[in-house]
């Protein structure tokens, strides 16, 4: 019984794999970039078409930060790990 309890506790302590989404935010202006940066989103490794849109990865647990910006965005890939694995 003690061994089962230890296994359950250790399993619960393992970090869960974070799911990352690729999102495209429309209106790639200096103001948009400023809003994204001040919201706490990491856009260092982004892909941009200047003046049109910016794409970057955001974790499922931090997508709420993007929602709070009220910027228009689309989710390009729901799960980047699965996308690159295929």
39-55 per-position pLDDT tens digit: 999 998 899 998 899 99
Q: What are phi and psi of 81, to 5 degrees?
A: -60, -45
Question: Model-level pTM?
Answer: 0.76
Q: Which tokens go with 23?
A: 């999102």
The Cβ of residue 19 has, within 10 Å, a number of other Cβ atoms equal to 14
Rg (CA), the chain: 17
24-81 per-position pLDDT tens digit: 999 888 999 999 999 999 998 899 998 899 999 999 999 999 999 999 999 999 999 8
The full set of domains in the chain, from first to last, is: 18-85 (3.30.70.340)
- pLDDT of residue 5 exceeding 90, the answer is no
């Amino acid at each position: 019984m003690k061994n089962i309890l230890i296994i359950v506790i250790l399993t619960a302590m393992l970090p869960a794999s974070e799911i990352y989404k690729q999102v495209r935010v429309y209106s790639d202006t200096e103001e948009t970039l400023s809003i994204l940066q001040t919201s706490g989103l990491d856009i260092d490794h982004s892909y941009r078409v200047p003046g049109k849109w910016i794409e970057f990865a955001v974790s499922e647990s931090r997508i709420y930060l993007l929602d709070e910006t009220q910027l228009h965005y689309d989710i390009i890939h729901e799960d980047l790990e699965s996308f690159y694995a295929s």
